[in-house]
Structure 1
Amino acid sequence: MARTKSNYKVLDYRNNVGFAKSCYSKGEVIVLIVFLRFKSLSREDVWLLLRYLFILLAGLLFFNQKAIAQEIRSRSVVVMEASTGKIMYAKNPDLRCMPASTTKLMTAIVVIENANLKDIVTVSRNAARVLPHKVGLREGDKVSIEELLNAALIGSANDAAVALAEAVAGSEETFVEMMNKKAKDIGAINTRFVNASGLPGKGQYTTAYDLAKIMAYSLKYTRLKKILGTRVVEITTENGKEIFLKNTNRLLWANDDVVGGKTGYTRWAKHCLVFAAERQQDTLVVALLGSPSRENLWREA
């Protein structure tokens, strides 16, 4: 069954395939057979065989990528290398989707760049009356910019987002103009905001690609990155009101590599998430929009 040639003991692949199958995987058997056949092939035949194998592997990789895309149920997904902007994976990266509360990431960027975090804000009636998700701010409450950022990013509070917009720009409308300008400056050219909270609004949209770019940009601000990665916090208004906040980003408990992110949900936008993960010197940003269920969102993330 075995023969010796040039002092090397070689398996007879024709007579020992059954043995090989019992000891090796299918892939290893193929490699073994190819290796053994090289001894009897001409140089031209070897190059033809290598060319065939290359085409075969390329096809397998292509169809495997398509299979992965079919398994992903979120409407738009991007995995991006934060430092270079290189796309590691994408599904419908430029599909316009409603951003829901991932909008608050841009709200926070504009606030960080245009306000003193220690400044005290008096909550307006307009901000206090925002629905649905809120932390219970009341008209006349006095809260620092930093505490409002905690409420907007950790607790995903819409009332806090509107209070921030009014504090920075005088009105939410003017603040939204600042948000849209910043989006364009970052390179998020397929993004348009109509409010600071992410509540449904006509003409408000983003893409997974743009959202990943916004997340990558936000990481340059140490304070913002720290807030996005905070699991729980208690904020206190100047009036003495204490508000406990738990981060809506479940990944912060499930994966130590995750350094922060922002969730979002409305009935129209479905479930959304953008987050960053670090391992050694590498930082990846993942954006998912339009996931059909919360369970599916966390599974895909």
Structure 2
Amino acid sequence: MDAAVGIIAGAGRFPFMVARGARRAGQRVVVIGLRGLADRALREHILASPQGADRFYWSGVVRLGRWIRIFRREGVRRAVMAGSVRKREMYGRFRLLRYLPDWTSIKVWFFRARDKRNDSLLSAAADEMALRGVMLESCVQYCAESLAGQGVLTRRSPPPGVLKDIEFGWRIAKELGRLDIGQAVAVKEQEVIAVEAIEGTDEMIRRAGQLCRVGGWTLVKAAKPNQDMRFDVPTVGPETIRHLAEQRAAALVVEAGKTVIIDLPETLALAERADISVIGRWNDAP
């Protein structure tokens, strides 16, 4: 078995998928589950490996120094991030108690990051890890088969009126990404219903459904124009489809080649049953 790969695991099913992919690639995995975010079942999933060589640790979200110490002790020189981090919770009550940073995180926050946007903070954290001998890489290498393809991915094609919404929403989603606001926008009849910000895609979907009670709207989710695939990779999955169905959406558009579809067969099957078209679109900007 090759040298270990580290996985910094946030919320959702994505860390499970990345861990399975790393194992298939012959890697020993060392997982750091972010406390309050990572699924508790992930620990059992990792420690139940047939080889018995995989490791799992819990850690706080802003304990960068601890991440690095764990990885170095376990012989990890390459690491990836997988899973969502609900940043809105970092603005809740008692946030200083729940997210007390260590000294390494404080240095990154105050001295290394250009500003407090996601890209700046994560880039600064990756630089700090590299200085300490742990290179942050893209997790997509372990799940490339789940990247969205081009064209209509479901048997159901989008209704004619939705095609104009797709192009309209695409430009807005890309601009949201350029400004590092969010990755997704909900549109209907070339009108913006809702944009994703700190609340995340699922909450934005609920809000879009409340604002567009007639349904038939389109969710467009795209990578940032200069997306760093090491972190914040666009993802959709079964839960996305369930939320869209509950809120009477008509179509889901994702960026081909840059969006990971978690549990791809299940996601598309759910979309078929809910009469939701799923479309992969290549970015046509230079």
Bucket of the pairwise TM-score, normalised by the shorter protein: under 0.3
Normalised to the residue count of structure 1, the TM-score between the two structures is 0.23
| Higher Rg | 1
Q: Which has the higher contact order (CA 8 A, sep 6+)?
A: 1
